[in-house]
Structure 1
Amino acid sequence: MKVIDKQRHRTKVFKSGNSLAVRIPAGTKLAAGMEMELLVEDGQFLSYEPVEQPKRMFNIAKVAGSATSLKPIRREDRVFEERPLRSFGASEDKG
């Protein structure tokens, strides 16, 4: 059975520029800069939850050409040990 740790905090809504804001107590597991989604129904605040951030892709274009001293490995320098091919799921006799 999963135990859910619930806490209740009291806070006030205040004006911040042209928006409203709420101070989130430090005891929560939120971090500054987290993007949140608020659920408001009929003008009543119901809940908030973190917005899942999309996975970032690595941009190779930013590093391409930065390692100019690297050269491709020559064919004669590509040495691999020969080993027999095995069938998928084949068991080896280890005795």
Structure 2
Amino acid sequence: MVGVPQWTDQGTNAKFVEDVWGVGVRAKVDEKDVVRRDELEECIKEIVMEGEKREEIMKNVAKWKKLAKEAIDEGGSSDNNIDEFVSYLMKY
């Protein structure tokens, strides 16, 4: 994932993508706060083709994919939370 934050919470999202979850990079802006074509191209190369971070990013993507699948599977945290929420709504 290439983060290109423009306003509000997007900067936080890009920080999480790159620094916390490790599943992408944040594109750098120029002096006019614009992401240029060559910067975007370098970001894409970094994560998809030949970058140093590619292997680590792919490992993290697989980890988060597995955790997400476990959460939505029957008995997972998301599955349990939605059941609890529906039960709560059915009381009223």
Coarse TM-score class (shorter-chain normalised)? under 0.3
The TM-score, its normalising length taken from structure 1, stands at 0.23
Where is the strand percentage greater, Structure 1 or Structure 2? 1
Where is the helix percentage greater, Structure 1 or Structure 2? 2
The TM-score, its normalising length taken from structure 2, stands at 0.23
Bigger Cα Rg: 1
Higher relative contact order (CA 8 A, sep 6+): 2
